[in-house]
Each structure stands twice: as structure tokens, then as C-alpha cells.
Structure 1
Amino acid sequence: MAIPLLVTIELAPGHLSRLAAAGFETHYAPTATDRAQAVEHNGGRIRAVLTNGSRGLDASVIAALPKLNIICALGAGYENIDVTAAKARNIIVTHGPGTNDTSVADHAMALLMAIARGIVQSDSAVRRGEWATSRQLRPMISAKRLGILGLGNIGEQIARRASAGFGMSVAYHSRTPRADSAWHYLPSPVALAQWSDFLVVATPGGAMTWHLVDDAVLSALGPDGFLINIARGSVVDTAALIDALKKRHIAGAALDVVEGEPDVPAELIAQENVIITPHIAGRTPEAAEATIRLVLDNLQACFAGQPVLTPVR
């Protein structure tokens, strides 16, 4: 008998088909209305949920699913899943560390280069017929200083690309120094920003990192510094960022994530010294295959009575 699975996020048709082929009765509910209806009509039957860190799963929904055995987060993040509520009922929670690290690190470097060299702005200017006036001096990347806020798997991959590919000096800040790291540790986000030419945000989301990049950090980054965020929009204080961009307190920002996405503040969009991509850093065919494969492996292990591969501890 097929196992009822609630999918609360957008998922490619091919991936939905693979879940069905693996023996899951998929209830696809990517919108709030869909989710409410799915819980109302099938909540008593649902045994598994597929979500992600941004969408999460709160305690009230967990309580409405009395037969729930497992919650799978697609990707590494799980900040909006109420893990405490799940564990109180012995519900397994899994996530996908390592499945999209390479893709996200590639995208971080693409954003860094694009904002430093003004690629997007120059392309737009040429299309407007402004060839001559758009030929401004833009900063180099090579041999500059790269600060990484949060040196996890993705931060480490960004550091290696920057160091090996561009000869950049690399420093980082995280809650504790990493004894195995080759990179220079700095004691606070402000100290890291003050040191950096480019500051890449690569932390997890959640309450612990909410608005970690605030006015003080942006002021420390300074008028020649660039901010790149491929982590979570909640890590950056949007109002402070808009103010810093408007007043040229920083040189620019390149964002793959925005606080409150998919709604992006009009005042942020209006700034010429920012580029924004729609949370696509981890969206490559290779990463998509790795993430769905891990979800399937975790689901199948759970319902076979075996240990899951990547539990949230």
C-alpha cells in the first residue's frame, strides 16, 4: 500500500513521479491553500512530509498529523521546522547536507564577480544604447580580501575557489574557530567586515543568525566593500542594507536570498548597486538529482525500519 506523503514545496513533475514510483501517495501542496486543504482532508493519514528550511513545518501542523513518522527537508537548511515538537513525538527529521554545496559555492562566486565588475549593470546600459557612458572603472577580484560569515561546507568551498582561483586572502567568522581550517579566524562579524573587501554570508538561517548582518556590520564593510548573500534572507537586516546601498555606505550587494522572499521590497529593487537572483544558487540539475535521491533514500530507510542517512541531531 502506498505511503501518504505531504509535499509542501514546489517540486519538479519528474521528482513527483519518482516519489510515486517509489511507493508514495503524494499530496502536492505547494501553496498555503493547498496545504490547509491537504491537512484538513488527509491529515489523519499523512505519514511523511517533504518540505525545506524556508517553508518549514510548525508545531501546529505537526500536531494535526497524528500518524506522521518522518519530516524530510530538501536541502541542508531546516531552520523553520519545529524539531523540538517533532522529537517530542519521536518523529524523525532529516535534511540534505552536501547535496547542493558545489552549486551554491559556484553561484556565490558568480554573484561576487558580477557585482564587482558591474556585469548586470553594464549589460543593461549597452542594451539602452549607453556604450560609451557605461565604461566605468570597476574593481578587480584577484588578490583581494574575502570574508566568509559561516564556514560550513559551502563556506569552505567558496574559500577554496577564491584562494586557488583568484589568489584572494580568506578570513572567516563562525560561533567557534575551526581547528582544522587553513583560513584566518576573526572574532566577530564586525571585525570580519572591517577586514574584508568582499563579505559572503554563508551561515544557516534561523533565530541564532537573524539580522546578524546589521548596520554595524555594513558600516564596517565600508564604501568600497561588497556584500554577497547565498545563505538566508533573514541573516541580513533588509532596512539597514537598503540604507547602506542608498547612501553608498557599501559599494554594492549581490543577493540570491531576500528577507520575506518571494516578495522583494521595491526600495531594494530600485537601487542600482544591487543584483538579485531568485534563490537559485542550489538549483542545478546535478544538485536537484542529489537532493531528491537523498530524500528518497531517507524515506525508504525510515519505512524499512532502518536508520536514516542524514538525521537532524
Structure 2
Amino acid sequence: MLKKIVVYKPLPTDVEAYLRDKADVINVDPKDQAAFTAALEHADGAIGASIKITPSMIEGAKNLKALSTISVGYDQFDVDDLTRRGIVLTHTPDVLTESTADTVFALILASARRVVELAEWVKEGHWTSSIGEACFGVDVQGKTLGIVGLGRIGGAVARRAALGFRMNVLYTNRSANEQAEKEFGAKRVELDELLAQSDFVCLQVPLTPQTRGLIGANELKKMKQSAILINASRGPTVDETALVEALKNGTIRGAGLDVFEQEPLPAGSPLLAMKNVVALPHIGSATHETRHAMARNAAENLIGALDGTLTRNIVNRGVLAR
């Protein structure tokens, strides 16, 4: 008998065809929570993204063996609860590394050189003579980049910084990244030192109880007044209220943000009115090529998990021990 799979995010045609060749596929709109929960009750697996799946939603899902998220982050799931239930959670950490690192570096360059602000200034017809200091930005090459969390994406950012822009790379991480130290000259330091010395502070950490609010008013005060904060990890890793105040008061120069505490960013957010903020709509991995690769990877993860053959991309390996 074919396994039953719930798909709660539109998939590329060829990826859905791959799943349909191996399982009985049911497409569900997750915004209809009642229908979504009902579908999960009869499912062996589910695949999708950007929807919080709570313990109560899978309470009746007695056949559920695997959930596959089309993302590297998995803060939409109660991992401990899934592990207790014996449900494997898979994610897609490798295929989005380079495109997300490109986005991070785009934020660095756009913030430093005021690309978005000045592009709008030109379109509004203000460029009527040679520019002066009022339009100047700051250099990126040769500056110090502090990366909080030197994992896959952080390492790819470090490579771009050190090899492409001759930047001095500092980092904090739970463990030493010997490859980055050897190849990119990265130096592991404590967070306070990183904040004090960096011209750009880049967050590349997952959202956990330990990283929620990691950068708040105290941390922002420790940064250089000329520094720029870059966040393309998860919005709640930064205390947004404290960041707004720091940007208003000139505590730091600016911010490049792809993620926010509330997404989409509310129309009344003070960040939208700030010229020293580059705000993007969470586009980290949003290229045609990468999103397709993520969907395919997630589909293969799910089938492998259901077949018992998957050995990588597993968030809660404790399930396998059971």
C-alpha cells in the first residue's frame, strides 16, 4: 500500500510528480487549519514550509512518521515533541548555502554603499549635479566582519569576505571552525570582542531559546558607532525595539535586514521610514534554482525518511536511536 503524504506548500511540477510516483499525495491549504489537521491524521508524512506545526495539530496523527521542511530553519516545529512521538524531522541545510550567503553579502554592500536609498533618490529626480559627501557611503574592502555563528552559511560569507574583499574575519561559534581559520584567516573571539571590533556584525545563528534576543540594547551599545548590523538568520535573534532606538540615536550606523520579528513587516514599522535600513522580504534563498533544489531535496528527504534509508539532513537524530 502506498504511503500517504500531505503537501502543504506548492511544489514544482516535477517534484510533485516524483512524490506521486512513490506515494499517495494530498494537497492541502495550511491556512485551513481544520482541513490541514484532518489530513495529517491519516498521513504517513508531510512536506511544506513556513507554517507552524504544533503538538496539538498532530495529536491524532497516529501514522505520522516523518515531516520534511523546505528550509534550513526548523523553529516552526517542537522538535522535542516530535522526537517523543518518534517522528523524524528533516530539513534542507546544504542546497541553499551559497544563495543565502549571496543575500548576506548583498546586504553588506547595499548598507555600506547606501544602494537602496540612493537608487530611490535618483528615481525621485534629486540627482541634478555631481554628488558630494551627503551621498557618500563607507568602504567594505579591508574592513572587519564579525560573524555570529560560523556554520555552513557563515562559512560561505567568510569566504566571500576574506577572499573577495580582503576583510578581517572574526567569529563566535560553539566550536572552533578550523577550516575557516586556515583558509580565510578567521579568528574565534568572545561575542563582546566581536561586537567592539567589527565594522559589520553578521548574525548567522538558528533561532533557539539561547539565541532569541541575542542582540539587544546592551549588545548594540558595545558595537562601533560606525558599525552596521546584518541579520539574515531569524528576526527574533535581534530585539527589534532596541535596534530601532539604536538606529534613531546613532548608536550604530545602519542595518541590513532580511528577517524580522513579525513577517511580513507591518506597514507601521519604524524600520520602513529609516534611510539607514535596508529591508528585504526574507529573500535569503529566493532564487529559481535554489528554491527548486530545496523542494527536490525536501521531497527526497521525506521519501528516504519514510523508507528508513535517510542518513543525512535529519534534525532529530534521537528518533533513529529509538
TM-score, scaled relative to structure 1: 0.91
Correspondence 1:45 to 2:42? yes
**In the aligned structure 2, how far is the partner of 1:209 from the partner of 1:8?**
28
* Residues 2 and 25 in structure 1, CA contact (< 8 A), matched pair in contact too: no
Partner of 1:167: 166
The answer to whether the 8 A contact 1:5-1:48 is kept is yes
How far off its partner does 1:9 sit?
4.2
Alignment of 1:271-282 (within 5 A): 271-282=274-285
Q: What CA distance in whole angstroms lies between the structure 1 residues aligned with 2:60 and 2:8?
A: 14
For residues 58 and 154 of structure 1, do their structure 2 counterparts lie closer, same or farther at Cα, with a shift above 3 Å needed?
Answer: same
Question: Deviations for 1:284-312, whole angstroms, at most 9, x for unmatched residues?
Answer: 12222321222122222233342343211
Q: Aligned equivalents of 2:11 and 2:221: distance in 1?
A: 39
Instruction: Give % identity.
Output: 31
The gaps in structure 1 that reach 5 residues or longer are none
Q: Matches of 1:56 and 1:95 in 2, distance apart? A: 14
Report 1:214-253 matches (<5 A): 214-253=216-255
Match of 1:306 in 2: 309
Corresponding residue SS for 1:209: coil
> What is the aligned partner in structure 1 of residue 320 from structure 2?
none
Which of residues 60, 74, 91 is equivalent to 1:64?
60
Change (3 A) 1:179 1:162: closer
Distance (Å, rounded) in 2 between the aligned partners of 1:30 and 1:81: 15
**Aligned: 1:29 with 2:61:** no
Residues 295, 196 of structure 1: alpha-carbon distance in 2 compared, 3 angstrom cutoff:
same
Q: Which has the higher contact order (CA 8 A, sep 6+)?
A: 2
CA distance 1:83–1:192, change in 2 (3 Å): same
How many Å separate the matches in 2 of 1:11 and 1:73? Answer: 12
**Per the alignment, do residues 178 and 309 of structure 1 end up closer, same or farther by CA in structure 2, a change over 3 Å counting?**
closer
| C-alpha contact 1:203 1:209 (8 A) present in aligned 2 | yes
Supply the distance in 2 between the matched residues of 1:89 and 1:224 (Cα, whole angstroms). 49
SS in 1 for 2:281: coil
1:268 counterpart (249, 267, 271): 271
The residue number in structure 2 matching 1:154 is: 153
- Distance in 2 between residues matched to 1:226 and 1:290, nearest whole Å: 32
Task: Please give the alpha-carbon distance, in whole angstroms, between the structure 2 residues aligned to 1:103 and 1:91.
Answer: 30
Distance 1:130 1:2, change over 3 A: farther
Q: Which amino acid aligns with 1:192?
A: L
Offset at residue 58 of structure 1 (A): 1.8
| Cα shift at 1:108 | 0.6
Partner Cα separation in structure 1 for residue 293 and residue 11 of structure 2: 14
Conserved 8 A contact 2:244-2:271: yes
- CA deviation after TM superposition for structure 1 residue 161, in Å: 0.3
In structure 1, how many angstroms separate the alpha carbons of the residues matched to 2:70 and 2:218? 33
* CA distance 1:80–1:272, change in 2 (3 Å): same
Structure 1 distance, partners of 2:274, 2:10, is 30
Aligned twin of 2:4: 4
- Preserved CA contact (<8 Å) 1:230 1:257: yes
Change (3 A) 1:201 1:48: same
1:103-137 CA deviation, whole Å, 9 max, x = no partner? 00011111110110011111111111111486522
SS of equivalent residue, structure 2 residue 41 = coil
Q: Indicate which of 282, 285, 290 corresponds to 1:287.
A: 290
SS of 1:143's equivalent in the other structure is coil
1:134-149 alignment, distance < 5 Å: 135=132, 136-149=135-148
Give, in whole Å, the separation in 2 of the partners of 1:152 and 1:177: 10
Contact kept in structure 1, 2:12 and 2:292, CA below 8 Å: no
Paired with 1:119 and 1:191, the residues of 2 have a C-alpha distance of: 29
Residues 107-126 of structure 1 mapped to structure 2, 5 A cutoff: 107-126=103-122
Letter in 2 for 1:237: D
Residue type matched to 1:112 in 2?
A: I
Tell me by how many angstroms 1:22 deviates: 4.4
**Distance in structure 2 (CA, Å) of the matches to 1:60 and 1:283:** 31
Alpha-carbon shift at residue 87 of structure 1 (Å): 1.4
| One-letter amino acid of the counterpart of residue 253, structure 1 | A
Cα contact 1:72–1:93 (8 A) shared by 2? yes
